[in-house]
Amino acid sequence: MSESAVKMGDEVEIEYVGKLEDGTVFDSTDGRDAFAFEAGSNRIIPGMSEAVVGMQVGDEKTVAVPPEQAYGTYQDDLVIRVPRERIPQDVKVGDALSDGQGGGQVWYVAEMTPEETVLDGNHPLAGKTLIFEVRLIGIK
């Protein structure tokens, strides 16, 4: 008897490797438990959430997810310059800072000079096409 295919709303488990177009791995389930989510839900990026629909247990595929279906396009207006004295002394490039307003905006420290700090409100993967090698482990 044939396995059933994933439908929207099914709880699924996958193993995956996420890469940038240049082959750099940015995330993977290697060494971790399989990743579980509801197919078609907004718990993960839309491109991955929808990519598993139609797969059967054991299926593998490679999916290219464009920015619009991942972390969005890069927005230049989310890059701001702040006087250096307004940033805590122990902050370094690559750190993530909250806006402190409870709104959930995260700013990544992109650059620092003695005079100013450049903060980027874009997700680090914004504007990038993401390549996922996916294996469906289970359907619950």
**Cβ–Cβ under 8 Å, residues 33 and 138:** no
CA–CA distance, 120 with 125 (Å, rounded to integer): 12
Look at residues 50, 35, 27 and name the one whose alpha carbon lies nearest to residue 125. 27
The domains found in the chain, sorted by start residue, are 11-72+125-139 (3.10.50.40), 76-120 (2.40.10)
- Residues with Cβ < 8 Å from 61, sequence gap 6 or more? 51, 55, 133, 134
**pLDDT tens digits, the chain, 140 residues: what are they?**
346 999 999 999 999 999 999 999 999 999 999 999 999 998 899 999 999 999 999 999 999 999 999 999 999 999 999 999 999 989 999 999 987 666 678 999 999 999 999 999 999 999 999 999 999 999 98
CA–CA distances in Å: residue 96 to residues 32, 45, 73, 122 = 24, 20, 19, 11
Residue for token digits 């972390």? 71
CB atoms within 10 A of CB 47: 19
**Cβ–Cβ under 8 Å, residues 126 and 74:** yes
pLDDT of the residue at 3: 63
